[in-house]
C-alpha cells in the first residue's frame, strides 16, 4: 500500500482508493445475527462501502477482566468483507465495562466538586488512571494483533470523541508532573501563575491541585494550565493506542474523531498526531445558519487536515440531544453531505447505521430508521450513496485553496473564556461564527490557521478574536503585514501573554503600533441587546475607548461616552475593529477589505443562500434555500451529478446541488 498522507505516513487516500467513503458507525451487537445479514444487504443496496465497528464494544470483547471474546467480531469482519465493505476498526476504550469501575474505582474520573462519574453512561474513564491505561493498552494490543492485517481493515479509529476531564487524586499527581515538566521549579510556576495575589504562593508541589471547586474565582493561569494538561493527557492516551495499532498495521492510517469546535482538545496539536483528521458534525436542521455552521467546521477540519478529511459522523435525521430534535427536511441530508464534500471531505459517514430500539440513543436517527427500508431516511441515504459513487473518482484527493485565513487557537480560547473578565457575554465561538459568516455570505472561501503558522500565502488574514497571543504569533502577524499581507483584527486581541498576564498598555505594544493605536484607555462592554452607534453601522457586544496615533479612522462612535472616538481604524493594511458590527455591516466591511486585498468571491452575483466552492477544478454550487434559483456560471461545464451539460446558467431546485467539471 502506498503512503499517501503527510510525512510519508499512510493517509485517507489509502482508505478511499478513489471512492468517497460512505457508511457509518455500525453497532450490531444490539441485534441478533440474522439482522446482520439484512443489514449488509441494505448496505450494499445503499452503496455503503465503509462501516466503523467496535466503538462501544469493550464489554462484549472483554466481558470479564482479561477474557477475550472475538468470535462475533471475526464473523462480522468476514461478513462485511465478503460483501465488499471496508472496516474502520475502533479501539473500544471510550466506554469501559462495568466490571472495571467495580473492581478498580481508580479508573473513574471525578468532577470539580469531587463527585464520581459512575459507569452506566459512557466515557467514564480517567485519562490519568494507570489501571485504565493498562487495560486499554491490553485490549488494543489484542485487537490489533488479531485484525491488524485483516483484508477488510481500512483505518484505525482510536477511542471516540475524547472529551473527559478529571479533578481526582490520581489526576492531581499527573497534573503536578505535567507542571514540573512545564516550569521546572516552583518559583517559575509561582511567577507564571501570579500567586503573589490572594496568598496563593506554593511552597511544595504536593500543595498544588487541579482547580477544584473553590469559594471564589480560581487562579486563571492554573485553570488555563489545567486545560492544556487535560488536552495533553488525552493525547497521551490516544498516542499510546495509536502506537500499538501502528506496530501491527504500519500501512493503515489512524484517526480519532473530533467534536466540532470543541473546547477540550487543542485540535491543531492533535491533528499533527493523526494520519486522517475526522470530525463529527451535527448542525441543527432548524438553525437558519446551520449551513454556515457546517461550513465553519468543514473549513477548520480541512485546514487541520491540510487536505482531504473525513466526516466521521453526521445524522441522517434528528439527533436526540437538543431540547427539541427536528428531522431533516427532504433533501437536506444530501445537501449538507455534498457541502462537506465540496469543502474537502472524502468520507461521508453517519452515527449510526441502524437506529437503536433500546438504550440512550433510540430516538437518534440512523441511516436505517425505525421505519426501516421503506422510510424516507433510508431512501434518501440510498440515493445519496449512488450519487457519491458516481462522483467519487473525480472528486477524491482534490484540494481546495483559499486566499483568506481565519485565525483560531485553543490557548486563547481557554484563557479568554474564564470568569472574572470584563464581560461574560463575549463567547469566542459566537464571535468566530459572526466573522466566518461575514466571509461565507460574501462567497469567499476561507481556511483556518494557527496564529504561529506561516501566513505568507494568504492575501488576507482575519483574527476574529485571540485574547492570548504568544510573542512568536505577534511577531508573525507584524511580519505578515510588513510583507504585504492585509490583516483585520477584532476586539480583545493580543491582550495577554502565554501565562495570561495582561500585556503592558492593555494590548501588546507591537500590535498597537501596527494598527496605529496610541492609547487603549478602557473597554466598554455592552449589555445583551445594547448597541453602540457608529458611523455607518451599529456595534454589538463590545466597544472601546481608543485614542488613535497615526491610524486612519474608518468609522467613529456616535453619541454616548465614546462619541467621536474611532470604532474601526486602519494603518495601511492593518485594520482594527473595536466592536462586533451587526452582520450586514461586518459583511460589508470584510467584503470591502477583501476586495482591496485582491480577494475575489468564488462567483460574482450569487443569490443569497447559494454557496459556491471550488475543489480543484470542480465547482460545487449549493442552494441552501427552499426556493428554486438561477445561478450565473460563466463557461461550459458538465454536471457530474445530473450528467447534463451546463452553459453560463444553472437552475437549482430547493436544496439543489450541482458539481460542475470544466
Indicate which residues carry an active-site annotation. Answer: 161, 313
Q: Which is nearer to ligand GLA, 40 or 319 (CB)?
A: 319
Contact 551, 566 (CB under 8 A): yes
Contact 623, 653 (CB under 8 A): yes
Q: Which is nearer to ligand GLA, 205 or 363 (CB)?
A: 363
The grid coordinates listed for 554 are 474608518
Q: Which is nearer to ligand GLA, 117 or 280 (CB)?
A: 280
Contact 365, 355 (CB under 8 A): yes
Contact 307, 344 (CB under 8 A): yes
Distance CA 250, CA 3 (A): 10
Closest by CA to 334, choosing from 661, 6, 659, is: 659
Our separate counts of H helices and E strands in the chain read 18, 26
Contact 658, 650 (CB under 8 A): yes
3-state DSSP percent of the chain in helix, strand and coil, to 5: 35, 20, 45
Q: Which is nearer to ligand GLA, 364 or 624 (CB)?
A: 364
**Closest separation between CB of residue 67 and ligand GLA, Å?**
25
**Closest separation between CB of residue 90 and ligand GLA, Å?**
10
The grid coordinates listed for 72 are 462475533
Q: Which is nearer to ligand GLA, 361 or 403 (CB)?
A: 361
Distance CA 247, CA 237 (A): 16
**Closest separation between CB of residue 364 and ligand GLA, Å?**
5
- DSSP H or E run through 448: strand 446-449
Residues that bind ligand GLA (CB under 6 A): 160-161, 280, 282, 313, 319, 351, 361, 364
Contact 166, 100 (CB under 8 A): no
Q: Which is nearer to ligand GLA, 72 or 262 (CB)?
A: 262
3-state secondary structure of 155: strand
Give one DSSP letter per residue of 593-616, joined into a string.
HHHHTT---SSTTPPTTEEEEEET
**Closest separation between CB of residue 641 and ligand GLA, Å?**
28
**Closest separation between CB of residue 563 and ligand GLA, Å?**
49
**Closest separation between CB of residue 656 and ligand GLA, Å?**
27
Distance CA 275, CA 12 (A): 7
Amino acid at each position: 500500500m502506498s503512503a499517501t498522507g503527510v510525512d510519508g505516513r499512510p493517509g485517507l487516500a489509502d482508505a478511499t482508493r478513489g471512492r468517497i467513503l460512505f457508511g457509518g458507525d455500525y453497532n450490531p451487537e444490539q441485534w441478533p445475527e440474522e439482522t446482520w445479514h439484512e443489514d449488509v444487504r441494505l448496505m450494499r443496496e445503499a452503496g455503503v462501502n465503509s462501516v466503523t465497528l467496535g466503538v462501544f464494544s469493550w464489554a462484549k470483547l472483554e466481558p470479564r477482566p482479561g477474557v477475550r471474546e472475538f468470535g462475533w467480531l471475526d464473523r462480522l469482519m468476514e461478513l462485511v468483507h465478503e460483501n465488499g465493505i471496508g472496516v474502520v476498526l475502533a479501539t473500544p476504550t471510550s466506554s469501559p465495562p462495568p466490571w472495571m469501575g467495580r473492581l478498580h474505582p481508580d479508573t473513574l474520573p471525578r468532577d470539580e466538586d469531587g463527585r464520581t462519574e459512575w459507569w452506566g453512561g459512557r466515557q467514564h474513564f480517567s485519562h490519568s488512571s494507570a489501571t485504565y491505561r493498562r487495560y486499554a493498552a491490553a485490549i488494543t494490543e489484542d485487537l490489533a494483533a488479531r485484525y491488524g492485517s485483516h483484508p477488510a481493515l481500512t483505518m484505525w479509529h482510536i477511542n471516540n470523541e475524547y472529551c473527559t476531564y478529571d479533578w481526582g487524586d490520581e489526576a492531581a499527581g499527573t497534573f503536578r508532573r505535567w507542571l514540573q515538566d512545564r516550569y521546572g521549579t516552583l518559583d517559575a510556576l509561582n511567577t507564571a501563575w501570579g500567586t503573589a495575589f490572594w496568598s496563593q504562593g506554593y511552597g511544595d508541589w504536593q500543595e498544588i491541585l487541579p482547580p477544584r471547586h473553590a469559594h471564589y474565582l480560581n487562579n486563571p493561569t492554573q485553570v488555563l494550565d489545567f486545560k492544556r494538561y487535560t488536552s495533553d493527557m488525552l493525547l497521551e492516551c490516544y498516542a499510546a493506542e495509536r502506537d500499538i495499532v501502528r506496530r501491527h498495521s504500519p500501512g493503515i492510517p489512524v484517526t480519532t474523531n473530533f467534536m466540532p469546535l470543541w473546547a477540550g482538545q487543542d485540535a491543531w496539536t492533535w491533528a499533527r498526531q493523526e494520519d486522517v483528521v475526522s470530525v463529527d458534525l451535527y448542525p441543527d436542521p432548524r438553525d437558519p445558519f446551520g449551513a454556515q455552521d457546517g461550513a465553519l467546521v468543514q473549513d477548520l477540519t480541512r485546514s487541520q487536515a491540510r487536505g482531504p478529511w473525513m466526516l466521521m459522523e453526521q445524522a441522517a435525521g434528528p439527533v436526540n440531544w437538543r431540547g427539541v430534535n427536528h428531522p431533516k427536511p427532504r433533501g437536506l441530508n444530501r445537501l449538507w453531505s455534498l457541502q462537506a464534500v465540496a469543502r474537502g471531505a472524502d468520507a461521508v459517514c453517519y452515527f449510526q447505521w441502524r437506529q437503536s430500539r433500546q438504550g440512550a440513543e433510540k430516538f437518534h436517527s440512523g441511516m436505517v430508521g425505525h421505519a426501516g427500508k421503506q422510510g424516507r431516511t433510508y431512501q434518501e441515504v440510498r440515493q445519496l450513496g449512488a450519487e457519491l459513487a458516481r462522483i467519487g473518482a473525480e472528486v477524491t484527493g482534490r484540494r481546495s485553496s483559499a486566499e483568506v485565513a481565519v485565525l483560531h487557537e485553543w490557548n486563547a480560547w481557554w484563557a479568554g473564556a474564564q470568569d472574572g473578565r470584563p464581560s461574560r457575554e463575549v463567547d469566542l465561538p459566537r464571535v468566530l461564527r459572526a466573522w466566518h459568516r461575514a466571509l461565507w455570505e460574501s462567497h469567499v472561501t476561507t481556511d483556518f490557521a494557527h496564529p504561529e503558522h506561516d501566513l505568507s500565502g494568504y492575501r488576507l488574514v482575519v483574527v476574529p478574536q485571540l485574547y492570548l497571543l504568544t510573542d512568536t504569533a505577534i511577531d508573525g502577524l507584524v511580519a505578515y503585514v510588513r510583507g504585504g499581507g492585509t490583516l483585520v483584527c477584532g476586539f480583545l486581541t493580543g491582550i495577554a501573554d502565554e501565562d495570561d498576564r495582561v500585556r503592558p498598555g492593555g494590548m501588546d505594544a507591537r500590535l498597537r503600533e501596527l494598527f496605529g493605536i496610541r492609547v487603549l484607555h478602557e473597554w466598554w462592554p455592552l449589555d445583551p441587546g445594547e448597541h453602540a452607534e457608529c458611523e455607518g453601522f451599529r456595534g454589538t457586544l463590545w466597544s472601546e475607548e481608543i485614542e488613535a496615533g497615526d491610524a486612519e479612522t474608518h468609522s467613529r462612535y456616535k453619541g454616548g461616552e465614546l462619541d467621536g472616538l474611532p470604532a474601526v481604524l486602519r494603518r495601511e493594511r492593518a485594520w482594527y475593529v473595536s466592536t462586533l458590527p451587526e452582520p450586514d455591516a461586518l459583511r460589508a466591511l470584510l467584503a470591502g477589505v477583501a476586495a482591496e486585498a485582491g480577494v475575489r468571491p468564488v462567483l460574482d452575483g450569487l443569490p443569497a443562500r447559494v454557496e459556491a466552492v471550488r475543489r480543484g477544478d470542480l465547482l460545487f454550487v449549493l442552494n441552501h434555500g427552499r426556493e428554486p434559483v438561477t445561478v450565473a456560471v460563466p463557461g461550459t461545464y458538465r454536471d457530474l451529478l445530473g450528467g447534463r451539460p451546463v452553459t453560463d446558467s444553472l437552475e437549482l431546485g430547493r436544496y439543489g446541488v450541482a458539481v460542475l467539471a470544466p
